[in-house]
Every structure is written in structure tokens, then in C-alpha cells.
Chains A and B, each alone.
Chain A
């Protein structure tokens, strides 16, 4: 056996296929816990990918699994952290304050969340391809312990696929599931991350052993040996990584223009295009969809500000106040974002007029009823920022109905769902 393997290592090329043996080394080291063997299923069931020698490529090996796994691990970490940040910004605990700068903070973090999730699709599929010999292992479960190991992997794979699939479907505003996307995507994100951390712990010896490149015995794909069927024409890890890199590059270029505006022209598959929408800005929810057309068209609309010196103002009176124009992005949780020029009254001017203390929180209530975002609260980190406006105009025109006419909130470094449209009233909370 030694001699045979040595011959193989030296480039011998017996024609019989090996069985993806490399992968069999990724397994839990067995301690002293007794294990119960399971009976092997009838051999007649061993067909297709389950057959011996079904996987011939030398790339089903631990080093490739580690190399691709690292990239996938980084992408999942980015998705988890940016997702957690977005969650905390929308469900801000009392002890946590977010700064209103940099103005592009949420635009970058949420854009990264969605772009990284999209890039993770080919990463996950290639990572799983590398371990196909273990997916199609025979017998499917050797023992109780082996079955449990595979079950823990099933949790990881199911949660990972769930997160990528639901995220990808959600960004086209399609909700074909019987549950609320936001909380379920959030909680399964914890399951996926936990299962990934557990997986890294289980595989740590293999990961550390193969972290650095070992003595390379995989021949580089060499076109000079083309066609002679010799072992020189073998799959190379570099070739696999080139395919992976091309896949990530193509899916990223094809979609990232929805947030990186200069790339909008090459983003042929992006669900959004900056510049497409009323007043050249995309819309998430229209005035019609929010059922606010009647109240926003009421000429008697007035903004009510409740506070120590509460008041109410018509739109004309708001326009008579000092107007400020700011350039701020609107950054949607769905991963698209676009910069725009907003004109209106500073929130801090309105709050000062209402006699609000500097550190007061502002509650903003929309004319839209029954949405989780009908009521929004904004702490002084945002309300005191000179860029935070009650916007009355957009890109030099009167604010479009779909962008929040008669008045909306626009603040730096905030999720789009918190940029409340169709404002009805504001309350100073002290």
C-alpha cells in the first residue's frame, strides 16, 4: 500500500478512480464515547453519485475545502455583522447609540450585506461541490456518531441556503413564504452563524493542518500536455479558484450597480437601477400602496409638533422657514441605494422652536397606518445633526407623492425604512 501511494504521489496514473479519499479525513476525531454502528443499506441503492469512484477530481480534498471555506467564512461573517448592525439600527436598544456620521455608513454596510450575500451563492455552491464525496458517502451513515455529524452539517447547509435564498428572493420584493421575512431571516442568521462556528470548531485540526499550502503535488493545468491523457492534464486548484473568482466577479458586477451607481450600466441583473423612479430615485413603497393618497392630497394638511411649546404649521409656513439643501443617500434594507439632493427644514430648528431639550428623542408618526414603520423614533445623535431634514423638495422639485409628499424625514447614516415618509406629526419625548 505504501508503495502504491508513493507511486501516486510521484505522478503515477493508474486508470482506476480513487474515491475522493482526501475528504474522508475531514471528520471528528473520535474520543472515548462509544459509538453504535448502523447497518449498511442494500447495495442495489448505491447508484449514480453514490457509486464507488464517482468523484475522480483531486480537488475534492481538504486543502481545497479549507481555501474555499475561508472565503465562504469571511463572506458569512460580513453578512452576519452587517445584518446585525442593520437589525440594531432598526431595533435600537436603549444602551446603544449610533452616530449620524459617516453619512454613507448604512449605505456601505447594507450594500455590502446584500452584495456579499450574492457573492456567497457561488462560494457556497463550490464549497459544497468540494465536499460532494462526503455528501454522497456510502453508507450514508456508518454509525450513530456519523449520523449526528452529518445532521450538524445538514443544519449548517440548510440554514446557509435558507439565508441566501430568502435574501435573494426578498430583494425582488417577492414574498412566497408563509412567514415574515425580517424576523425569520434574522433568527436563522444566528442559526447559520452558530452552525458555522461549530463547524469551524469541529474541523479545526483539519483547518490548521491545511491552512498553509503543503508540498504541492497537484500538477498545474498545463496546456502543453493537452490531449495526451497524462496526469499532467489534471484539474488544478488554481483553475477551480479562477472559475470561482469569475463566478463571484460576474454575479457581483451584474448586481452591485444598484448601490455603486457608476456600475449601474453593467449591472444587467440588478433588481434596482439608481436613477429609475420618480424624480430619478427608486421607490420602495408608493403612496398608493401605503393608502395615503387622500390624506396627503388634503389641502388642509398641517405638520403638528408636540412638545413643551407645541405648534402646527402648513406646508406654506414650513417653506417660509429657513430652507437647507443637503446631498444624502437613501439606502434601502434591500441593498439598493442612491444619492439625492434634498431641500427642507432642519429637524433641530423645528425642535428648538418646540422648546425641546438638546438631548430629546423625537417620535415621528406617518400618515401611513398599520406599517411597522408608521412610527419612528430618532435620538439626539440624529436630530441635532444639521443634515437631518424634514424634506419638502427633492432634486430641485416639490417632493413627489411616492417620495413622501407633503414632507418626509431624511437623515444621514440611517436605514431607508426609518426615513419616514408622509409625515403627519412629530412628538418631542423628554
Chain B
């Protein structure tokens, strides 16, 4: 790990008179500048104790639950969700972002155009995740008032609106920049 990272973009609050934040990533003391006040220390202790109590209450309640028979089922879903995000979703987002921002450097669309496009994708992906249970649910719904809509078509409509608004946003900013 080199000691001297030159920044592409400045980091907020990274002013020279503050402690070097890099040290904490190398196992040194935290970058938190001022020593914590008594109020903060007390609040931290209380929050920490309350948080641990909440976790303990939840786990104890779960283990005591008469309806809870498959102990591994919950653990599988907990770990599965974590892995799905950390090892799949986050990696895909990273690859998508890196590809969009770093392809054809110096040529092609300006960074802000690429960023706006990625923002539009993010909105569309959020809508897709919300619609996913309705789209992938197997079998017919238990009665006609459950999932009464055509979710595939409707999701396409949402994507259409999101991409159109993204395109308009980019066009308007280009036009404004051209005038300015």
C-alpha cells in the first residue's frame, strides 16, 4: 500500500489541518479528530448496550418461538441475502459503474452524461427489484384480487418513463451548457 494517493477528486473535509485519514486504514488510530466528549461517550455506551439488548432479545425470541422449527432455514435466508448483495449485486454494480465510467477515456460521452445515465439505470433497477416478487412468483395467485396487474408490461412502462426522463435530463443540461 503506497502512502501517497493523489486524488482524482478531492474528498470533503479532507483539509490539510486534519489528521491523516489514511492512518486508520493501516491499523493506526481512527481519524476522528477531537477526543469524544463525555456526552458522546455516554451516548455511545447507552446506544451500544441498547443495540446489543435488541439483538439479544430478537435472537432469544426467535429461538423460543413455538412456530419456529426449521432453525437453519432462517440462517440460510440471512446469509443468503447477505451474499446475494455483497458477492453478487455489489460486484455487478461495481462492474457496471466501472465499465460505464472508464470505457473509452477521453472520448465518448462526458463523465456527467455517463453518470446521469447510471443514475437513470439505478432508478430502473430499484423499480425492477420492487416488481421482482410479482414477476417471478410461481403458480397462480390464490385469488383474482392478488396481483391483478400485468407486471411485466407495467415494469416496461416504468423503464420507458425512467429512460425518457434520463434522456431529457441529459438533453436539457447539454442545451443549457451550450447556451452558457
Contacts and interface: CB of A to CB of B under 8 A. Distances in A.
Interface string A204-234: 1110111000111110010110111101011
A313 interface: no
B126 A125 contact: yes
A161 B81 contact: yes
Interface in A232-257: 233-235, 239, 242-243, 246-248, 250-251, 254-255
Interface in B6-49: 6-16, 20-22, 24-25, 27, 29-33, 36, 40, 43-48
A239 B118 CA distance: 11
Interface string B91-104: 10111001001000
A142 B28 CA distance: 11
B82 A172 contact: no
A273 B77 CA distance: 30
A341 interface: no
Nearest to B118: A243
B127 interface: yes
B133 A169 contact: yes
Contact of A21 (B22, B40, B81, B85): B22
Given A161-B85, A179-B70, A204-B47, A223 B123 contact: no
Nearest to B175: A223
B142 A226 contact: no
A6 interface: yes
Interface string B113-131: 1011001001100110111
A269 B127 contact: yes
B133 to A, nearest CB: 4
Contact of A286 (B1, B15, B33, B142): B142
18 contacts: A9-B10, A9-B14, A27-B31, A29-B30, A49-B94, A61-B12, A121-B129, A165-B81, A168-B130, A178-B70, A179-B74, A187-B58, A189-B58, A197-B51, A223-B177, A227-B110, A228-B110, A268-B154
Interface of A: 1-2, 4-6, 8-19, 21-22, 24-25, 27-30, 35, 37, 48-49, 52-58, 61-63, 118, 121-122, 125-126, 128-129, 132, 135-137, 142-143, 146, 154-155, 157-159, 161-162, 165-166, 168-169, 171-174, 177-180, 182-184, 186-202, 204-206, 208-210, 214-218, 221, 223-224, 226-229, 231, 233-235, 239, 242-243, 246-248, 250-251, 254-255, 268-273, 276-278, 282-283, 285-286, 289, 402
Interface of B: 1, 3-16, 20-22, 24-25, 27, 29-33, 36, 40, 43-48, 50-59, 61-62, 65, 67-70, 73-74, 77-79, 81-82, 84-86, 89-91, 93-95, 98, 101, 106, 110-113, 115-116, 119, 122-123, 126-127, 129-134, 137-138, 141-149, 151, 154-155, 157-158, 162, 173-174, 176-177, 180
What 8 pairs between A and B have smallest CB-CB spacing? A194-B54, A198-B51, A201-B47, A190-B58, A14-B6, A277-B145, A24-B25, A25-B31
